[in-house]
Amino acid sequence: MNNSQFPAARKSGLVIQEMPDEVLVYDLNTNKAHCLNQTAAKVWMSCDGKTSIAEIADSFGRGANEDLVWLAIDQLSESDLLENEVASKFKGQSRREVIKKIGLASIIAIPVIASLVAPQNALAATSCHCSNDNQCQNPPNVGNCPTHCCSGVGTCNSPETAPGSGICPP
């Protein structure tokens, strides 16, 4: 059986939360969250390792074609949500070109997977609090707080010798 033609959805190491018209998938291995729109979610849930891409396309009824399913498979594979990596069918073409081509021919919404990496706990809790200048010059505060210098009241907001320089007054 060709894995590319009979893709299997990955189930382990994931937290899956179904929502109206979307599925949220959190990858515990990489701390990445993915939001699958309805089309991407339907394709992913059809990937049981026994159903072919052509059959998945058929399950959408009229208005869908195999390229639409391949576009979803492509993104699912990129997001590491399939058991086996699947070679892209659209090698050499940009996703924009593919979407344009499929979009014109399909009445089904284009599959979309939005992804983000969940921040380190401290980043979520960035408070810009500090006890010395170093803490303002390193994650999670650097880039998130007004300056690189720790003020007398314990936040990274003390004026720098020259703005943006990271050089703090003694």
What does DSSP assign to residue 149? B
Contacts of 137 (CB under 8 A, 6+ apart): 148, 166
**53 or 130: whose CB is closer to another protein?**
130
Q: Return the number of the residue (53 or 128) whose C-beta is nearest another protein.
A: 128
User: Which of 39, 113, 50 has its CA nearest to residue 76?
Assistant: 113
Q: Which of residues 6-25 bind another protein (CB under 8 A)?
A: 15, 17, 19-24
d(CA 28, CA 34): 11
Name residue 33's beta-bridge partners.
26, 116
Residue 2 binds to another protein (criterion: CB under 8 A) = no
Of 2, 62, 94, 153, which one interacts with another protein (CB under 8 A)?
153
Stretch that binds another protein, among 3-11, 53-61, 80-88, 125-133 (CB under 8 A): 125-133
Buried-exposed string 91-116: b where 16+ CB fall within 10 A, e elsewhere: eeeeeeebbeebeeebebebbbbebe
Query: Is residue 29 within the footprint of another protein (CB under 8 A)?
Result: no
Q: Based on the shown chain and the rule CB under 8 A, indicate whether residue 142 belongs to the binding site for another protein.
A: no
> Which residue lies nearer to another protein by CB, 8 or 35?
35
Say how far residue 162 (Cα) sits from the centre of its chain. Answer: 38
Would you count residue 90 as binding another protein (CB under 8 A)? no
Tokens of 69: 């399913």
Residue 130 in the binding site for another protein (CB under 8 A): yes
Residue 8 pairs in a beta bridge with 48
Establish if 138 lies at the interface with another protein (CB under 8 A). no
CB of 166 to another protein, least distance (A): 15
* Interface residues toward another protein, by CB under 8 A: 15, 17, 19-24, 26, 28, 31, 33, 35-37, 114, 116, 118-132, 135, 144-147, 150-155, 157-159
